[in-house]
Amino acid sequence: MKKIFSFIAFLTFATGVFAQEELPSTAIKDVSTGKKIAFNQTFEKGKVTVVSFWATWCVPCKKEIKSIREKLGEWKKETDFNYMTISMDETRAEGLVRSYAKSQGWDFPYYIDANSDLKRSLNFQNVPYTIIIDKEGKIAYQHAGYEEGSELETYEKVKELANK
């Protein structure tokens, strides 16, 4: 029992420390412009941002982004925040990422982490993976996987952080 309590205390501490980390300056590529930019430079200061990590071959990823996109207009009327996606596809699939985003009518920024450098910097394993960056530029929430309706939980966190 003592070991379980110690482990829970460690996880609580580790989560708190992780939430305080600076965002990595790992370069990602803006698919629409072709220019590289540091991940930590993609955020608007003082504004909450949701980041969806995805891949063209990932069906749950596409479902999550589609669900968010369908609600995005309504959510943004209620809460001021930004949304962006980062593809985990390889460099050779960049054209596929671009054409998919255009075919879906994405009107938000979309990037590619072709060598998975950012993925390694953030230390996550699989997509879909969602993070929320708070107004101070720190990771305030993270979620792996997607189940229908889980985007609503993400939005609740966005509202909570945006209204702080």
Reading the chain (164 residues) residue by residue, the pLDDT tens digits are 444 434 333 333 344 434 446 899 999 999 999 999 999 999 999 999 999 999 999 999 999 999 999 999 999 999 999 999 999 999 999 999 999 999 999 999 999 999 999 999 999 999 999 999 999 999 999 999 999 999 999 999 999 999 98
CA distance 68 to 60: 12
- CATH numbers and ranges of domains, the chain: 23-162 (3.40.30.10)
Environment class of 92 (CB within 10 Å of its CB; exposed 0-12, middle 13-18, buried 19+): exposed
Q: 126: how many CB neighbours lie within 10 A of its CB?
A: 14
For tokens 């996550």, the residue is: 124
pTM score above 0.85: yes
CB 16 within 8 A of CB 139: no
For tokens 């699939």, the residue is: 93
> Radius of gyration over alpha carbons of the chain, in Å?
16
Please tell me whether the peptide bond between 128 and the residue prior to it is cis, using omega within 30 degrees of 0. Answer: yes
Nearest to 54 by CA among 94, 96, 87: 87
CA distance 153 to 51: 14
